[in-house]
Amino acid sequence: MRQALEKLLEAGKDDAMLRFTLGSICLQEADLDTALLHVERAIAFDPDYSAAWKLHGAILHKLGRFEEALQVWREGRAVAERKGDLQAAKEIGVFLKRLERQCIAANRNE
């Protein structure tokens, strides 16, 4: 699947959905740097793409870039709320709370 989608890119077909899908696949394959590039491109195409914001934060989290993940998820939640995408806003809110608690606990242990 990934190769077929990459061929679409090579052929000049490029949009938010294609980049989001490639980012998701790359994340599943643990190709985190490539996943990050694709999801950032998806958001550049469509800054209101709630699912891309959620994925962006998840990739940053997996990379251990926790402060960036918090920032991205906060912005993504605001995007989702503004769009009326309540499910995405709720899911991002859950991820945010977990990571905020994790960061607080880590700071206490230092």
Question: Which domains does the chain possess?
Answer: 2-108 (1.25.40.10)
Read off the DSSP letter of residue 30: T
How far apart, in whole angstroms, are the C-alpha atoms of residue 57 and residue 94?
12
Report pLDDT digits (tens) over 62-73.
999 999 999 999
How far apart, in whole angstroms, are the C-alpha atoms of residue 109 and residue 50?
34
CA proximity to 36, closest of 50, 49, 19: 19
Average pLDDT over residues 85-104: 94
Report pLDDT digits (tens) over 25-57.
999 999 999 999 999 999 999 999 999 999 999
- Mean pLDDT of the chain, nearest integer: 96
Q: At what angle do helices 50-62 and 16-28 cross, to 10 degrees?
A: 30
CA torsion sign for 33, 37, 42, 43 is positive
pTM of the model: 0.93
